[in-house]
Amino acid sequence: MRSFINFSPAFILVILSSVASAADWPQYLGIKGDAVSSETINGDWKNQAPKILWKAKVGKGCGSWSIVGGKALVVGNDKGNDIVSCRAADTGKLIWQHEYPEKLVANLYEGGPNTTPTVDGNRVYTLSKSGVLFCLNLGDGRPIWRRHLRDELGGKPGGWGFTASPVVDGDLVYVLPCSKDGAFYALDKKTGKVAWHTTNIQRSGYATPVLTNIDGKRAALVFYGRTVVAHDLTAKGKILF
């Protein structure tokens, strides 16, 4: 089963079928970050349109949904706040939501958050347009820790703000502050403390890093503002190419 989402300014419309048996989609572009789903759907929407199960107002934004264990999560902006919503995937019933102040910043589009929630175990990682990084409890939305990529790490986003979704691998969560001290950061996923960061200085891009294996090494492919770099995750981000 694939899920299809129509993000409008005021509400989100979700079309899902067989939600209970669907595969998880815990982060941007799916479980492997490659936009490939093991599910299949009926492609004949003209004659067999899928059933609309529910609608819900979630605010404005350009991020996508994450779906894990029957929970559907997304971030939107409404009345000067970012709102992280967790809903029952089959009914749309609100399980919890977490709000914090964040400007809409409608720059050439309607504005709102650009990133997708990343779910890892019982934790949810979200990143706002201005750089507010939260680790939330999946069960109740309670904040576990908070960092600010701009104010704390000196991050310099592009004109549309921070857009690369957090990526979790092993014990670390990877983010792209693109600060004067380094472009690519690895944080302890349980505490938010900096584990290491690269020293390369790069102009901020807008793409989420892709994790892969290169010559037997765990690596991150990062599309910065002007170049693509492969970082060796086993050697504190050493540049492979």
Q: Domain residue spans in the chain? A: 4-239
pLDDT at 3: 39
Nearest to 73 by CA among 116, 102, 33, 32: 116
- Asked if 84 and 73 touch (Cβ cutoff 8 Å), the reply is yes
- Asked if 153 and 132 touch (Cβ cutoff 8 Å), the reply is no
pLDDT at 124: 99
pLDDT at 42: 86
pLDDT at 20: 41
Tell me the average confidence (pLDDT) per consecutive run of 10 residues in the chain, 241 residues long: 40 47 87 89 89 94 96 98 97 98 91 97 98 99 98 94 97 96 96 96 92 96 94 97 95
Q: What's the pTM? A: 0.91
Name, in order, each residue with C-beta under 8 angstroms of 121's C-beta and a sequence gap of 6 or more. Answer: 138
pLDDT at 23: 85
- The number of residues making up the chain comes to 241
Look up tokens 């404005």; give the residue. 60
How far apart, in whole angstroms, are the C-alpha atoms of residue 156 and residue 182?
11
Task: For domain 4-239, give the CATH number.
Answer: 2.140.10.10
How far apart, in whole angstroms, are the C-alpha atoms of residue 135 and residue 128?
12
pLDDT at 40: 85
Nearest to 147 by CA among 155, 138, 156: 155
Q: Which helix or strand (DSSP H or E) is residue 217 part of? A: strand 217-223
How far apart, in whole angstroms, are the C-alpha atoms of residue 206 and residue 118?
17
